[in-house]
């Protein structure tokens, strides 16, 4: 029987437990467990037979959970999408009938202790988020056969990236409210010392608000980190240079430097530039050239592509995308206010309360 130890509290457990019931930490295999009895003296050592690994049922079903009951709690309706690290499903909570989205970690990653720790950290951070412009995590669970999953509210809307493709460049009266709400959500997260690290149009959901206006929701804090974290988390996020999305990464993230709220502000500046122009402010034939351009050059002026837009709006975006973090806005609140003040008086007055 295998023996596993909790690296945090030191408790040991026998059997197939994977997480400590006391603090939730991933258990690690203890070396030097029970050993087989020694062969009698004088006998030959038999040839060791190859052991065929047991099939992991979760490997087969993680990507095909539609129309199944997950963990005796959720009726999975259909698959919403998948990526290299996870599968996302729409589901119904059996006890309440509530519609939820379930993000299932790829079992191959679930077998890696660092990936599991990252997911647990993600859940722990995101459960602290409570803001109308942020998608929070409702629950972290694990099935009997080892599927690790996150439960989130099911948001039925349109991704900002899809809106950009469908409608093209946006007028300020449409784009600025979306950016201001995104700033409000980021400011809430930053106050909790959480940095998103991968802000992009695909991570901003647009819902139809009660007043018919767009409600922007910042999604997927999967690369989020607590900027006051200890060395253990720092090791996990040290490879952040390959975790973010190249087109939106700040210069300090490209260099693998420590990140703070100003890195998200930089990424949101690029998102805003794309919303207004349909283009990225740094050009290159590939992602590598675009990253080099961000390290060495300046973003294209907004009004090079949209001369109809105001100089104040161009100035706000240019400051958010300054190569030096010290020259950007100190926080997302200030960036949001700068954007709002580029609108006419009545629209600006309506948006200011979002940023107070």
- Quick: pLDDT tens for 28-59: 655 444 433 343 344 343 333 333 334 444 55
Indicate whether 125 belongs to any domain.
Answer: yes
Whether the pLDDT of residue 27 is over 80: the answer is: no
Average pLDDT over residues 282-286: 83
Q: Is 141 in the same domain as 171?
A: no
Q: What is the pLDDT of residue 19?
A: 57
- The residue that leads in pLDDT, 254 or 224, is 254
Q: What is the pLDDT of residue 154?
A: 95
The pTM (predicted TM-score) of the whole model is: 0.75
Q: Which member of 60, 130, 162, 198 is catalytic?
A: 198
Determine the straight-line distance between the first and last CA of the chain, rounded to whole angstroms: 57
Q: Is 133 in the same domain as 166?
A: no
Indicate whether 21 belongs to any domain.
Answer: no
Indicate whether 5 belongs to any domain.
Answer: no
Q: Is 131 in the same domain as 217?
A: no
Q: Is 315 in the same domain as 224?
A: yes
CATH number of the domain enclosing 208: 1.10.510.10
190-234 confidence digits (pLDDT tens): 999 899 988 999 999 999 987 889 999 999 875 445 554 333 333
Average pLDDT score, the chain: 81
Q: Is 70 in the same domain as 164?
A: no
**Could you give the CA distance from residue 90 to residue 66 in angstroms, rounded to a whole number?**
9
Last residue of a domain, one of 127, 153, 179: 153
C-alpha dist (Å) from residue 7 to 19, 158, 234, 257: 10, 42, 17, 28
Indicate whether 288 belongs to any domain.
Answer: yes
How many domains does one find in the chain? 2
C-alpha dist (Å) from residue 3 to 46, 164, 231: 27, 53, 27
Range of the domain at 189: 158-355
Lowest mean pLDDT among 102-116, 142-156, 204-218, 256-270: 102-116
198 is catalytic: yes
Whether the pLDDT of residue 155 is over 90: the answer is: yes
Q: What is the pLDDT of residue 268?
A: 98
**Could you give the CA distance from residue 184 to residue 217 in angstroms, rounded to a whole number?**
10
Q: Is 341 in the same domain as 219?
A: yes
CATH number of the domain enclosing 99: 3.30.200.20
Q: What is the pLDDT of residue 43?
A: 38
Q: Is 266 in the same domain as 129?
A: no
Lowest mean pLDDT among 105-109, 147-151, 234-238: 234-238
């Amino acid at each position: 029987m295998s023996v596993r130890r909790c690296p945090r509290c030191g408790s040991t457990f026998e059997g197939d437990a994977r997480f400590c019931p006391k603090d939730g930490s991933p258990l690690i295999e203890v070396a030097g467990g029970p050993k087989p009895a020694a062969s009698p003296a004088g006998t030959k050592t038999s040839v060791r037979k190859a052991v065929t690994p047991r099939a992991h049922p979760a490997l087969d079903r993680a990507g095909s959970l539609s129309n199944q009951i997950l963990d005796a709690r959720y009726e999975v309706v259909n698959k919403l999408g998948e990526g290299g690290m996870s599968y996302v499903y729409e589901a119904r909570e059996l006890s309440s009938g509530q519609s939820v989205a379930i993000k299932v970690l790829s079992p191959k990653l679930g077998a890696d202790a660092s990936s599991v720790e990252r997911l647990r950290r993600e859940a722990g951070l995101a459960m602290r988020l409570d803001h109308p412009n942020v998608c929070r995590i409702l629950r972290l669970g694990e099935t009997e056969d080892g599927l690790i999953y996150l439960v989130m509210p099911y948001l039925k809307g349109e991704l900002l990236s899809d809106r950009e493709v469908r409608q093209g460049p946006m007028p300020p009266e449409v784009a600025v409210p979306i950016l201001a709400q995104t700033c409000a959500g980021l400011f809430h997260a930053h106050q909790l010392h959480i940095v998103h690290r991968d802000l992009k149009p695909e991570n901003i959901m647009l819902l139809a608000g009660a007043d018919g206006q767009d409600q922007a929701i910042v999604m997927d804090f999967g690369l989020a980190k607590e900027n006051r974290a200890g060395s253990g988390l720092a090791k996990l996020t040290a490879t952040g240079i390959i975790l973010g999305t190249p087109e939106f990464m700040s210069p300090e993230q490209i260099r693998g430097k420590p990140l703070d709220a100003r890195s998200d502000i930089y990424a949101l500046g690029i998102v805003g530039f794309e919303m207004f122009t349909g283009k990225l402010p740094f050009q290159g034939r590939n992602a590598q050239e675009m990253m080099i351009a961000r390290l060495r050059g300046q973003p294209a002026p907004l009004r090079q592509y949209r001369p109809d837009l105001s100089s104040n709006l161009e100035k706000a975006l240019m400051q958010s995308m300054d190569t030096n973090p010290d020259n950007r806005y100190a926080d997302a609140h200030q960036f949001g206010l700068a954007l709002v003040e580029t609108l006419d008086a009545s629209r600006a007055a309506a948006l200011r309360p979002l940023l107070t």
